């Protein structure tokens, strides 16, 4: 990874377990679940549970206030010295809960200034918060973009809530896609590193993701992470209930291979929960419930 990166960018990614494949063996991230509300509906989401911005539906997490979240960051940082990144990724959309999200970042900047801040969003509200993101020193943003064609998008998103109004169908997908791509362009122009997540949904966007890859690359994305749809009826998602399957490992790898060009593809994603703690793939969240943190004093 290091060979083709400028030293300035390398400094920004070398300790980030998601942005650098090497780093994920040595550095840990944690998420705090401070963002319960969402402003869109994805057919792969079950809104009773965690957001699937990082795309693992169907697991409940404990919701935290910004103050509880900052306490948790301190508790985790003192137990896991490899902790380098705090991400907010749900359970809803962080930017549909801007007061809680930015308050949390502000508190963490104060109590643990060495921790890097990371944000994962569906992108609908991104343009409204670019200044706040930059002001809090968030230098890694993930936008989940599953389509750039509204006809494809309409099969993934039944509605969005935008400017006090609910939009449905192609109209909804068109607004969402425009906002996502514009948001990506603005962040990239401000030197905030952007990773794009896409959920691969066979028969819906699997072929189309090659086009998505080209477009996000052209607009300045740093890394593209294509993740498999997790779909089973017990998750209660629209796709799960409709019998929509996820891709096979071979289908996923073939698509990732066909997108691999000058831009890196991420292949070590673990589709984390909104309250994940620890090294990727080594989940230690059970050690840090609010009760346990309170007991530590």
Nearest residue (CB) to ligand SF4, 68 versus 122: 122
Nearer to ligand CLF, 30 or 172 (CB): 30
SS (H, E, C) the chain: CHHHCCHHHHHHHCCCCCCCCCHHHCCEEEECCCECCCCEECCCCCCCCCCCCCCCCCCCCCCCCHHHHHHHHHHHHHHCCCEEEEEECCECCHHHCHHHHHHHHHHHHHHCCCCEEEEEECCCCHHHHHHHHHHCCEEEEEEECCCCCHHHHCCCCCEEEECCEEEEHHHHHHHHHHHHHHHHHHHHHCCCEEEEEEEECCCCCCCCHHHHHHHHHHCCCCEEEEEECCCCHHHCCHHHHCCCCCCCHHHHHHHHHHHCCCCEECCCCCCCCCCCEECCCCCCHHHHCHHHHHHHC
Q: Which is nearer to ligand CLF, 121 or 244 (CB)?
A: 121
Two structure tokens written together for 108? 């963490």
Residue 41 within binding range of ligand SF4, rule CB under 6 A? yes
Tell me the window of 20-28, 40-48, 178-186, 279-287 that interacts with ligand SF4 (CB under 6 A).
Answer: 40-48
Query: Is residue 93 within the footprint of ligand SF4 (CB under 6 A)?
Result: yes
Distances (CA, A) of 184 to 37, 193, 276, 278, 291: 22, 9, 25, 28, 39
Rounded Cα–Cα distance for residues 166 and 164 (Å):
7
Q: For ligand CLF, what does the binding mask look like between residues 20 and 59, x meaning CB under 6 A?
A: ---------x-x----------------------x-----
Between 112 and 131, how does the x/- string for binding to ligand SF4 read (CB under 6 A)?
A: ----------x---------
CB of 12 to ligand SF4, least distance (A): 25
205 touches ligand CLF by CB under 6 A: no
If binding is defined by CB under 6 A, does position 92 make contact with ligand SF4? yes
Closest CA to 186 of 212, 150, 137, 221: 221
Is 85 near ligand CLF (CB under 6 A)? yes
Name which position in 142, 144, 146, 213 contacts ligand CLF (CB under 6 A). Answer: 142
Within residues 119-138, the interface with ligand CLF by CB under 6 A covers 120
The only residue of 18, 30, 32, 40 in contact with ligand SF4, by rule CB under 6 A: 40
Backbone angles phi, psi at 118, to 5 degrees: -140, 145
* Interface segment toward ligand CLF; rule CB under 6 A; list 98-106, 130-138, 268-276, 284-292: 268-276
- Decide if residue 156 touches ligand SF4 (CB under 6 A): no
Among 229, 269, 274, 279, binds ligand CLF (CB under 6 A): 269
Site membership for ligand SF4, residue 20 (CB under 6 A):
no
* Contact status: 51 vs ligand SF4 (CB under 6 A): yes
Q: List interacting residues with ligand CLF (CB under 6 A).
A: 18, 29, 31, 54, 85, 87, 89, 118, 120, 140, 142, 195, 225, 269-272, 280
Q: Applying CB under 6 A, which residues contact ligand SF4?
A: 38, 40-42, 45, 51-53, 92-93, 122
């Amino acid at each position: 990874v290091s060979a083709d990166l400028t030293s300035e960018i390398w400094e920004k990614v070398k300790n980030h377990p998601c942005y650098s494949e090497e780093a994920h063996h040595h550095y840990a991230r944690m998420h705090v679940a401070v963002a319960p509300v969402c402003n869109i509906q994805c057919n792969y989401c079950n809104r009773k549970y965690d957001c699937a911005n990082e795309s693992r539906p169907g697991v409940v997490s404990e919701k935290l206030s910004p103050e509880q979240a900052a306490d948790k960051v301190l508790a985790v940082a003192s137990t896991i010295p490899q902790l380098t990144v705090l991400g907010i990724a749900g359970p809803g959309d962080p930017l549909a809960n801007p007061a809680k999200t930015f308050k949390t970042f502000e508190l963490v900047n104060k109590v643990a200034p060495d921790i890097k801040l990371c944000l994962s969003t569906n992108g609908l509200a991104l343009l409204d918060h670019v200044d706040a993101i930059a002001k809090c020193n968030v230098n890694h943003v993930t936008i989940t973009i599953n389509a750039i064609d509204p006809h494809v998008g309409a099969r993934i998103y039944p509605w969005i809530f935008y400017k006090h109004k609910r939009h449905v169908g192609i109209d909804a997908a068109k607004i969402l896609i425009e906002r996502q791509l514009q948001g990506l362009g603005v962040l990239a122009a401000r030197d905030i590193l952007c990773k794009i997540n896409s959920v691969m949904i066979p028969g819906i966007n699997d072929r189309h993701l090659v086009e998505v890859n080209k477009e996000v690359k052209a607009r300045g994305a740093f890394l593209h992470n294509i993740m498999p749809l997790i779909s089973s009826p017990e998750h209660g998602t629209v796709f799960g209930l409709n019998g929509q399957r996820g891709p096979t490992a071979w289908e996923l790898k073939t698509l990732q291979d066909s997108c691999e060009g000058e831009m890196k593809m991420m292949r070590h994603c673990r589709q984390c929960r909104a309250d994940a703690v620890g090294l990727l793939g080594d989940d230690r969240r059970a050690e840090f419930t609010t009760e346990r943190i309170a007991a530590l004093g």
